[in-house]
Amino acid sequence: MELQIIQDKIYEIRGQRVMLDFDLADMYATETKRLKEAVRRNIERFPSDFMFELTNKEYDSLRSQIASLKNSGRGEHRKYLPFAFTEQGVAMLASVLKSSTAIQVNIQIIRAFVILRQFALGYAELNQKLETFMLETNIQFSDIYQALTEMASQTEKDQKPISPIGYLAYEK
């Protein structure tokens, strides 16, 4: 499975990067119902920092963003709210879903999470360097401006009146 496809199915909810049960079920080539059954049978493996159920408000907001379940007919309205799995929850799914497809997909999903984390860390480091550069540059410009202002005020004080050069017209 291509990493970009997986990355497109990682959402930020409650300040955490998560994947939703129906996307995971689709990737694992199983029904969402079966995935949720396996999770519920092993619920002790999924504490709240591994998995949580979306609220109606979160689901409606997400639904409008990704336009899932907008089709008419079957699947338009959900009976149960989706589960959201964090990176640790996705890793735990490998111990619950034992098919070779689930294991291979899990490996790809974990790689996608790692790439996103590396990207975020690189972005934070770049942002910090940019802020430091801007701060140093502002200080330098401030120092240059102050020096020029002092030089200009000194020059005005030190100047002697200049004698005119050339012929002067005298009035009688």
Reported pTM: 0.58
Q: Which two tokens stand for residue 110?
A: 């974990």
Residue pLDDT, tens place only, 73-131: 445 556 789 999 998 888 888 778 777 777 777 778 778 777 877 776 676 677 777 77
Residue pLDDT, tens place only, 122-159: 766 777 777 777 777 777 777 777 777 877 777 656 66
| Least confident range of 27-31, 60-64, 66-70 | 66-70
Report percent pLDDT > 90 for the chain.
22
Quick one: average pLDDT of 164-171?
Answer: 68
- Is the pLDDT at 160 greater than 90? The verdict is no
- Is the pLDDT at 6 greater than 90? The verdict is no
What does the pLDDT read at residue 74? 45
Phi, psi dihedrals of residue 86, rounded to the nearest 5°: -75, 180
What does the pLDDT read at residue 123? 66
Q: Please tell me the distance from the alpha carbon of residue 133 to that of residue 155, in angstroms, as a whole number.
A: 33
What does the pLDDT read at residue 153? 73
Q: Which two tokens stand for residue 124?
A: 């934070």
Question: By three-state DSSP, how is residue 126 classified?
Answer: helix
What does the pLDDT read at residue 72? 43
What does the pLDDT read at residue 42? 92
- Find residue 162's DSSP bridge partners: none
Are the C-beta atoms of residues 96 and 28 closer than 8 Å to each other? Answer: no
Q: Is the dihedral of CA 17, 85, 99, 31 positive or negative?
A: negative
What does the pLDDT read at residue 85? 94
What does the pLDDT read at residue 151? 76
